[in-house]
């Protein structure tokens, strides 16, 4: 099979001058009132933003607080990738009703972005449909269309010719051929996003009826054509957005906001990159240990993700001589008493090592354990039980580490919300591309703690090791970073 690389997709395309494009975008942003509300299905979605607040519950009081703050954009953490269909249905209906209520109370319009996985996993199309139906009923309007844009530069996710690719060691792999497409709960086959929509909607939306914003349109800065495509969407039509660079998204955003200014209404399902552009958030340099105020005490790394990428990263991390490993045998989950005893053992060992100033990694066995019933939701229940156990371990620790790194979406969500008891966190930025850092709030168990959220599907084999090295010695700031993957 011929190897496909990013340069193969870009060599025939013009290079955009981002400066005038960004000036045009800012003019459109200045015209649009209201809020952007990002519903994030796990905590990793703040991978591209900074100085933005994320609320870890989805209550109406948090929504009111988000609408009242001066910023254009805020996040609500739904953690729905760790929920069953029934649970996410209940949650999203309530969020939609509460958004409608607060919008009417404050006379503030809003745009919903459902931030999802850049490798196409999650409750799609369920969540956008729930928002559509509930908001339309509550606010008596109709959505014209849904926009799908999984491009995520920081993680090496690209879309060209409507095919979505995942970069691995410089090679572009069609998303449907990756390990992520084989996910037991959210698996799929199609790499072409039009076919993906048809597959996920069980044929209710046909691929031939899905519109496309092509790279050629974007690189030619054909704002009128893109605008006309968006204006032509009606009765909840679908459109996919191709992109290889942030400038592609900026061109799209200009046409998007021009259509919104004419009264068009859209729901957006995207990865983290489009959020940054639509929110008008500028990039910032990678965070350093000094930025995080890391002290001399040891840190804590917690790994729940079972992707091959995570396993390779843990192997690299363990080559550092000062790392102390505490292995959690999650396979005891089917034996209640033994499982509880294992939790107590891990808590005692990890707490002792942190008290000594060691940097500790709590990691599960690398072999997966499944329900064996053939029902994906049964496997999800087991995954949630294991994640809950890891959360309990962290919640029982009595010594505050210098920082916490959580590896994996479900793991990082549960640790942030349940173990660290964060209600509102400030997104400080990213420590490596695609790897965000929260600063925990005053209400949390460990206030002002740097909490590093490391997605299971991001980074190279040495990324976790580089982060820990970076935070281990304030005198040696390592500016290197892994390649995108």
485 residues of the chain, pLDDT tens digit each: 578 999 999 999 999 999 999 999 999 999 999 999 999 998 889 999 999 999 999 999 999 999 999 999 999 999 999 889 999 999 999 999 999 999 999 999 999 999 999 999 999 999 999 999 999 999 999 999 999 999 999 999 999 999 999 999 899 999 999 999 999 899 999 999 999 999 999 999 999 999 999 999 999 999 999 999 999 999 999 999 999 999 999 999 999 999 999 999 999 999 999 999 999 999 999 999 999 998 656 899 998 777 788 889 999 999 999 999 999 999 998 888 999 999 999 999 999 999 999 999 999 887 777 767 777 777 778 877 888 899 999 999 999 999 999 987 778 888 999 999 999 999 999 999 989 999 999 999 999 999 999 987 788 899 999 999 999 864 344 444 444 43
Residue 483: predicted pLDDT? 41
Same domain? For 193 and 218 the reply is yes
Give the model confidence (pLDDT) of 396-425 as tens digits.
999 999 999 998 777 888 899 999 999 999
Same domain? For 458 and 410 the reply is yes
Same domain? For 337 and 250 the reply is no
Residue 485: predicted pLDDT? 37
Rounded (10°) angle between helices 336-355 and 376-395: 40
- 251, 278, 305 - which closes a domain: 278
Same domain? For 268 and 305 the reply is no
From the number of C-beta atoms within 10 Å of its C-beta (0-12, 13-18, 19+), residue 456 rates as buried
Q: What are phi and psi of 426, to 5 degrees?
A: -95, 125
DSSP 325: E
Q: Is residue 483 part of a domain?
A: no
Write out the E strands in 56-196: 73-77, 110-115, 145-149, 157-160, 163-168, 171-174
| Inter-residue contact 273 to 249 (CB < 8 Å) | yes
With b for 16 or more beta-carbon neighbours within 10 A and e for fewer, the 198-208 pattern comes to bbbeeeebebe
| Inter-residue contact 345 to 352 (CB < 8 Å) | no
Q: Is residue 134 part of a domain?
A: yes
Nearest to residue 326, comparing CAs of 302, 296, 356, 297? 302
Beta bridge partners of 39: 76, 114
CB atoms near residue 384 (< 10 Å): 15
Nearest to residue 232, comparing CAs of 206, 200, 266? 266
Bond preceding residue 125 cis, omega within 30 of 0 = yes
Q: Is the dihedral of CA 229, 33, 28, 45 positive or negative?
A: negative
Q: Is residue 479 part of a domain?
A: no
Nearest to residue 303, comparing CAs of 476, 145, 465, 62? 465
Q: Is residue 485 part of a domain?
A: no
Give the model confidence (pLDDT) of 195-246 as tens digits.
999 999 999 999 999 999 999 999 999 999 999 999 999 999 999 999 999 9
How wide is the angle at C-alpha 425 spanned by C-alphas 138 and 470, nearest 5°? 140
Same domain? For 268 and 295 the reply is no
Q: Is residue 481 part of a domain?
A: no
Same domain? For 116 and 226 the reply is yes
Rounded (10°) angle between helices 223-231 and 246-261: 50
Same domain? For 322 and 269 the reply is no
Same domain? For 344 and 376 the reply is yes
CB atoms near residue 306 (< 10 Å): 19
What CA–CA distance (Å, rounded) separates 12 from 6? 12
Q: What is the CATH number of the domain that holds 364?
A: 3.40.980.20
Q: Is residue 264 part of a domain?
A: yes
- Domain residue limits at 293: 289-472
Residue 479: predicted pLDDT? 41
What CA–CA distance (Å, rounded) separates 427 from 440? 9
Same domain? For 23 and 64 the reply is yes
Q: Is residue 478 part of a domain?
A: no
From the number of C-beta atoms within 10 Å of its C-beta (0-12, 13-18, 19+), residue 106 rates as middle
Residue 295: predicted pLDDT? 65
Residue 296: predicted pLDDT? 57
- 240, 259, 278 - which closes a domain: 278
How many helices and strands (H and E) does the chain possess? 16, 18
Same domain? For 220 and 298 the reply is no
- 278, 299, 317 - which closes a domain: 278
Same domain? For 21 and 73 the reply is yes
| Inter-residue contact 72 to 109 (CB < 8 Å) | no
Strand order in the sheet with 163-168: 157-160, 163-168, 171-174
What CA–CA distance (Å, rounded) separates 209 from 72? 33
What CA–CA distance (Å, rounded) separates 52 from 255? 25
Nearest to residue 469, comparing CAs of 416, 396, 405? 405
| Inter-residue contact 386 to 328 (CB < 8 Å) | no
What CA–CA distance (Å, rounded) separates 97 from 190? 33
Q: Is the dihedral of CA 132, 135, 140, 144 positive or negative?
A: negative
Same domain? For 52 and 180 the reply is yes
Q: How many domains does the chain have?
A: 2
Q: Is residue 400 part of a domain?
A: yes
Q: What is the CATH number of the domain that holds 237?
A: 3.40.50.10840
């Amino acid at each position: 099979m011929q190897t496909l690389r990013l340069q193969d997709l870009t060599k025939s395309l013009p290079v955009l001058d981002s400066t005038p494009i960004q000036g045009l975008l800012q003019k459109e942003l200045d015209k649009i009132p209201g809020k952007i509300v990002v519903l994030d299905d796990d905590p990793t979605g703040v991978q591209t933003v900074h100085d933005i607040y994320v609320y870890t519950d989805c209550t109406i009081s948090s929504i009111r607080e988000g609408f009242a703050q001066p910023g254009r954009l805020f996040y609500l953490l739904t953690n729905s990738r760790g929920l069953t269909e029934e649970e996410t249905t209940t949650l999203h209906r309530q969020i939609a009703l509460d958004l409608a209520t607060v919008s009417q109370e404050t006379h503030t319009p809003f745009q919903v972005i459902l931030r999802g996985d850049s490798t196409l996993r999650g409750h799609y199309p369920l969540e956008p449909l729930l928002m559509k139906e509930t908001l339309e009923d509550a606010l008596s309007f109709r959505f014209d269309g849904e926009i799908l844009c999984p491009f995520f530069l920081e993680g090496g996710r690209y879309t060209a010719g409507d095919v979505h690719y995942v970069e691995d060691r410089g090679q572009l792999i069609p998303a449907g051929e990756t390990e992520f497409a084989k996910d037991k709960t959210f698996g799929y086959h199609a790499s072409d996003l039009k076919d993906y929509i048809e597959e996920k909607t069980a044929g209710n939306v046909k691929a031939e009826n899905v519109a496309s914003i092509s790279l050629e349109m974007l690189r030619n800065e054909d704002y009128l054509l893109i605008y006309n495509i968006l204006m032509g969407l009606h009765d909840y039509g679908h459109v996919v957005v191709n992109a290889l660079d942030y400038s592609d998204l900026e061109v799209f955003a200009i046409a998007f906001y021009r259509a919104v200014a004419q009264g068009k209404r859209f729901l957006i399902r995207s990865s983290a990159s489009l959020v940054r552009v639509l929110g008008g958030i500028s990039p910032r340099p990678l965070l350093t240990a000094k930025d995080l105020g890391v002290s001399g005490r040891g840190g804590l790394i917690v790994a729940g993700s079972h992707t091959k990428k995570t396993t390779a990263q843990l192997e690299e991390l363990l080559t550092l001589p000062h790392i102390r490993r505490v292995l959690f045998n999650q396979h005891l989950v089917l034996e209640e008493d033994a499982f509880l005893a294992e939790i107590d053992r891990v808590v005692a060992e990890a707490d002792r090592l942190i008290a000594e100033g060691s940097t500790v990694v709590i990691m599960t066995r690398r072999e997966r354990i499944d329900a064996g019933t053939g029902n994906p939701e049964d496997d999800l229940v087991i995954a949630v039980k294991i994640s809950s156990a890891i959360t309990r371990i962290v919640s029982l620790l009595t010594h505050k580490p210098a920082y916490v790194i959580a590896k994996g979406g479900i793991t990082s969500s549960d640790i942030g919300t349940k173990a660290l008891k964060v209600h509102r966190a400030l997104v400080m930025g990213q420590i490596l591309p695609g790897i965000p850092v929260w600063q925990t709030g005053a209400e949390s168990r460990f206030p002002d703690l740097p909490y590093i959220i490391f997605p299971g599907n991001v980074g190279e084999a040495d990324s976790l090791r580089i982060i820990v090295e970076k935070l281990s010695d304030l005198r040696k700031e390592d500016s290197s970073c892994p390649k995108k993957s």
